[in-house]
Amino acid sequence: MSAAVVAYPPLRRRVVNVAMLTLSGLCTLLVVGVLLTILLYLLWNGAHSLTLHFFTQLPAPVGEPGGGVRNAIIGTLKLLSLATLIGVPIGLLGGIYLSEFAGGWSGFAVRYTTDLLNGVPSVVMGIFVYTLVVLPMHHFSTLAGGIALGIMMIPIALRSTEDFLRAVPRSLREGGLALGASKSETIFTIVIPAAIYGILTGILLDIARVAGETAPLLFTAFGNQYDSPGWLQPTASLPVVIYNYAISPYDSWHQQAWAAGFVLLSGLLAVSVVARLILARGKKLSHG
Amino acid sequence: MGNVVISTPGMPLPSEKLFRKQTLVERLRKGDEAIHLLTMAGGWSIILITGLLVHHLWEYSRIARHQFGWHFLITSTWDPVNGLFGAWPFVYGTVVTSLLALILAIPIGLGAAIFLAELAPRSVSNALTFLIELLAAVPSVVYGLIGIFLLIPVLTAIMPAFQKFFGWLPIFSGTFYGVSYFSAAVILAIMVVPFIVSISREVLLAVPIAQREAMMALGATKWEVTWRTVVPYARQGIMGSVFLALARALGETMAVTMVIGNVAQVSTSLMAPGYTIAAVIANEFTEATGDLYLHALIELGLVLFAVTMIINALARLLMLSVRTDEVAL
Amino acid sequence: MARSFSANAVQIRRPDIDRFAHSDAAAERERNQLPWPQFTVADLNFFYGNHQALKNINLIVPNRRVTAFIGPSGCGKTTLLRTFNRMNETVPNTRVEGRIRLGEHDLFSYPVTTLRRVVGMVFQKPAPFPKSIFDNVAYGLRLEHRLNKREMAEKVEQSLRRAALWDEVKDKLHQSANGISGGQQQRLCIARALAVDPEVLLLDEPCSALDPISTAKIEDLLFELKEFCTIVIVTHNMLQAARVADYVGFFLNGELIELNRAKHIFQNPDQQQTQDYITGRFG
């Protein structure tokens, strides 16, 4: 048998092959390893620092141990509700517009601007809402923070809505139209229900994304040592609390920062996982 | 045979009625026009918001722009007390940390993407990608927390040994105190790696099989196929992911603020503390006294906005040919 | 455009229609009894952008009969079908010229949603809504009528029976419509269209995605449906046309070559092109 039948590449090429492929595996290991380390380190430290008081009490004065961040947890929930109320309707409407109605230059303009808005650094968004809301009102407020987060939610809510609506097959739309449904009836009774799991997933991931935003809250919601009644007072929020406590010199505050990071991150990851489960369930349903 | 004439009485066929449009009232009643207008309002409100954003950044930086002109960007004195504002230390810090982050993140991210797309079994690849994308959702303030309490102690422990060998290089000289350009760049690299991995992986997976087979038929090894055929084919998309990562790194605020040291100086050494545009805005914005100070900070925001917009636009341009599932992020 | 008709008369220039008047007694009786035509098409041209998909079509679709449109792909048969309930208008950059009457009235003078309820349509690929079987059938009813629960259930049952699907799905009415077989899905789409009591049912290659058994079921169905419905079916399967159709129209390159009784078309067509096509000699 001639040796040419099993002509391996020369040794040098084989060595390079194995070396580089191993290296790429090591890169993966490094990325996954670093990320896992971060996650586990946070979970470990956070779980250690977590107490029941953390959820139920207001921050303790400097130097005193104990205390909690009840006000920040409530503040974050309020900010997120307000943001959802602002960002989601605009995102949904815009998404429906892009997928169902817009054509030509108008669709291009809206889509392009949305991508532009999505790329705006969060700290710049903070400046914008500061000049838009805080300056005229002369004080920081939950309202301003909610608006900042709400505007940040719009691009993702819009593009994910658009994408999931576009994925609804044309045959379903035609089926509705052929039964005498008007275009809007078709959109609301067929297209949106068919895409609803995807849209919900997009919105949940969107909320999870802005829930951790800190920079835009620094000069809009600001911060507060106490509960913030109503919507027009400055308010504490988990991300800002983490920031302030982490850069403080006090050990007890560092513990609180870890606990707050743990609570925030578990919340976000839980929402992300739930969102993906919803999407998987939607896919399962629509394929029988 | 021949032509047939069918007569039907009472046929309403004036030809102008043939393509009669429904009146506006009729259309509104059926809902279509109303919904069209409503959703259009939703879409256009985004243009309105973005327009307002640009307008406000421009308008509220007016005083600083008029007073300093382009010198704002290239002078180094940042002295709020005497009303002197030069942004060069921040511009420098932003550029240095972002570029260094990319230098660290690109090879590792690309390597991981190659492994996940070309080598790993699909199920392993999907699971790891899911994990990596999940970690893209970790807020930047949490990365900052990790930076302060995990990264800086670790770097402080290993840096002296490192400097023993490389300390003679200007960029590694000086005493390492923990907070530094280098720490900021490492944290940034960790933050942008998930983007590079997940987008590059998709781009690589999208390379047609035929491209690989052609090369394999010539007797190329797996690595040669990947490096000489697949990666060049996916070049544009990978570049796009790098630009997206760069835009994100430039605008990143919290994590950087927490580890860079916040000193308005320009140092050759990466071991020295510094400052970035986003960090100075975050730190000083609420303390800004006087309109000039405020306008100077907002002008920094304007600069940041303009630069990230340009880089994002470049990224979009490069990614036009590539369809990635951004929703999945 | 040259208009060769007055307000009260349309000239149909195709001689084929005259075959209806063949002097045997049955045809004569038919001609007197039937309120034909269902559709009267005159000088119809259709454009996708600059491409002309239909060229000067003149034809009559008789009431309560199965009319099949055959021809090679891209010959315009589907385009014509979709013009009958104005589905083509959902495609951007299209233009229609000429006139179509539905019964006595101009097709375009109906509000489009009313028209589509009168002229139902079933598409090539079964596309049930991702809802329950019951909700699929009830969809059209809920758009216009306010029916109470019992009336709705009766109507849904009646429609499913008409579509010969009731026995197969009566125990799983509230399960997802995506869970039934392709043939059942297509009959569900027919039931869905029948629920709103259409005068006409347009079928666009309804069996092309189905297995032979499902195809046979749907063909059987058509015989029953034509009792109360005019049926227009587009098919590229000549055997199917021969089995189900009373009248057959042959299209080629956007033109109607001839339209006549099915028997006539398949045994003794007037045009050489038709002869070539049905004998498979067509290039």
Give the CB-side neighbour count of residue B91, counting CA atoms within 13 A.
Answer: 20
Give me the residues of B, 22-41, that contact C with CB < 8 A.
22, 26, 30
DSSP secondary structure code for residue A131 in this structure: I
- Report the b/e string of C206-237 with b at 16+ CB within 10 A: bbebbeeebbebbbebbeebbeebbbbbbbbe
- Mean pLDDT score of chain B, rounded to an integer? 86
Chains that touch C (3 or more CB pairs under 8 A): A, B
Contact check, Cβ <8 Å, B17/C108: yes
C94, C102, C116, C175: best to mutate for the A interface, most A CBs within 10 A? C116
Chain C residue with CA closest to A191: the answer is: C129
For chain C, give the percent of residues with pLDDT over 90.
45
Q: Which helix (H) or strand (E) holds B232?
A: helix B231-233
SS3 C64: coil
Chain C nearest-CA distance from B2, in A, is: 5
Tell me if chain B has a CB within 8 Å of the CB of C17.
yes
The DSSP annotation for A36-103 comes to: HHHHHHHHHHHHHH--THHHHSPBPPTT---B--HHHHHHHHHHHHHHHHHHHHHHHHHHHIIIII--
Which chain A residue lies closest to B328 (C-alpha atoms)?
Answer: A202
Mean pLDDT of chain A: 90
Instruction: Scan for tokens 């979709």, then name that residue.
Output: C82
> Are C127 and A171 in contact (CB < 8 Å)?
yes
CB contact under 8 A, C123 and A285: no
Report which DSSP code applies to C53: E
Over 90: is that where the pLDDT of B180 sits? yes
C-alpha distances in Å from residue C119, one per residue of A233, B297, C113 = 61, 66, 10
Question: Chain B partners of A243 at a C-beta cutoff of 8 Å?
Answer: 141, 144, 254, 258
Q: Is A178 in Cβ contact with C193 (below 8 Å)?
A: yes
For residue C67, give the 3-state DSSP assignment. Answer: strand
The CATH code of domain C15-278 reads 3.40.50.300
Q: Do B9 and C8 touch (CB under 8 A)?
A: yes
Q: How confident is the model at residue B46 (pLDDT cuts 50, 70, 90)?
A: very high
User: Residue B120 carries which DSSP code?
Assistant: S
Question: Does the distance separating the beta carbons of B298 and A35 come in below 8 Å?
Answer: no
Question: Is C140 within 8 Å of A287 when comparing Cβ atoms?
Answer: no
Residue C219 has pLDDT above 50, yes or no: yes
Please give the domain boundaries of chain A with CATH numbers for all domains: 63-286 (1.10.3720.10)
Identify the H or E element spanning C258: strand C255-261
Return the minimum-mean-pLDDT range out of A239-248, B282-291, C32-41: C32-41
Structure tokens at B219: 């007797």
**Beta carbons of C127 and A169 less than 8 Å apart:** yes
CB contacts, 8 Å: A175 with chain C: 123, 127-129, 189, 192
Spatial CA neighbour of A160 closest among B223, C113, B70, B329: B329
Could you say which of C15, C17, C104 has the minimum Cβ distance to residue B8? Answer: C104
CATH of domain B73-328: 1.10.3720.10
What are the domain boundaries of chain C? 15-278
Percent of the residues in chain A that have a pLDDT greater than 70, as a whole number: 95
Per-residue pLDDT of C232-244, as tens digits, reads: 999 988 889 999 9
- Answer whether residue A243 shows pLDDT above 80: yes
Closest by Cα among B98, B304, B307 to B189 = B98
CA distances from A98 to A119, C89, C256 (A): 19, 19, 39
Q: Report residue B321's pLDDT band, with 50, 70 and 90 as the boundaries.
A: low
* pLDDT (0 to 100) of residue B137: 82
A52-63 residue pLDDT tens: 888 888 888 877
Task: Please give the Cα distance from B173 to B180 (Å, whole number).
Answer: 12
Beta bridge partners of C52: C47
Q: How confident is the model at residue B289 (pLDDT cuts 50, 70, 90)?
A: confident
Task: Determine, for residues C9 and B1 on separate chains, whether the beta-carbon distance falls below 8 Å.
Answer: no
Q: Say how far apart CA A272 and CA A278 lie, in whole Å.
A: 10
Do residue A31 and residue B278 have CB atoms under 8 angstroms apart? no
Q: Exposed, middle or buried, C167 (CB in 10 Å: 0-12/13-18/19+)? A: exposed
Q: Which amino acid would we find at residue C219? A: E
Contacts of B20 in chain C (CB under 8 A): 108-109
Q: Give the mutation candidate from B7, B15, B18 for the C interface (greatest C CB count, under 10 A).
A: B18
Contacts of C10 in chain B (CB under 8 A): 5-6, 8
Out of C9, C40, C109, whose CB is closest to B20?
C109
| Interchain proximity A113–B45, CB inside 8 Å | no
Closest Cβ opposite residue B138 in set A26, A219, A265: A265
CA angle A51, A53, A58 (to 5 degrees): 135
Instruction: Answer whether B19 touches C (CB < 8 Å).
Output: yes
What's the ipTM? 0.90
Q: Tokens 């640009």, residue?
A: B54
Put simply, the answer to whether A164 touches B327 (Cβ < 8 Å) is: yes
pLDDT value, residue C20:
44
- Which ranges constitute the DSSP H helices of chain C? 25-33, 77-84, 112-118, 133-144, 149-162, 166-169, 182-194, 212-225, 238-244, 262-267, 272-278
Cis peptide before B232 (omega within 30 of 0): no
At C144-198, the pLDDT tens digits run: 777 889 999 999 999 999 898 999 999 999 999 988 999 999 999 999 999 988 8
Contact (Cβ atoms closer than 8 angstroms) between residue A272 and residue A208 = yes
A 10 A CB-CB count for C55 gives 14
Task: From residue B231, give the alpha-carbon distance in Å to each of B114, B200, B212, C211.
Answer: 9, 9, 11, 44
* Spatial CB neighbours of A19, under 8 Å, sequence gap ≥ 6: none
- From the candidates B253, B257, B259, B316, which should be mutated to test the interface with A, based on the most A CB atoms within 10 A? B253
In DSSP terms, C66 is beta-bridged to C231
* Tokens found for residue B87: 């942004």
Q: Read off the pLDDT band of A89 (50, 70, 90).
A: very high
Residue B111 burial (CB count, 10 A)? 23
Q: Which of B8, B22, B30 should one mutate to test binding to chain C, selecting the residue with the greatest count of C CBs within 10 A?
A: B8
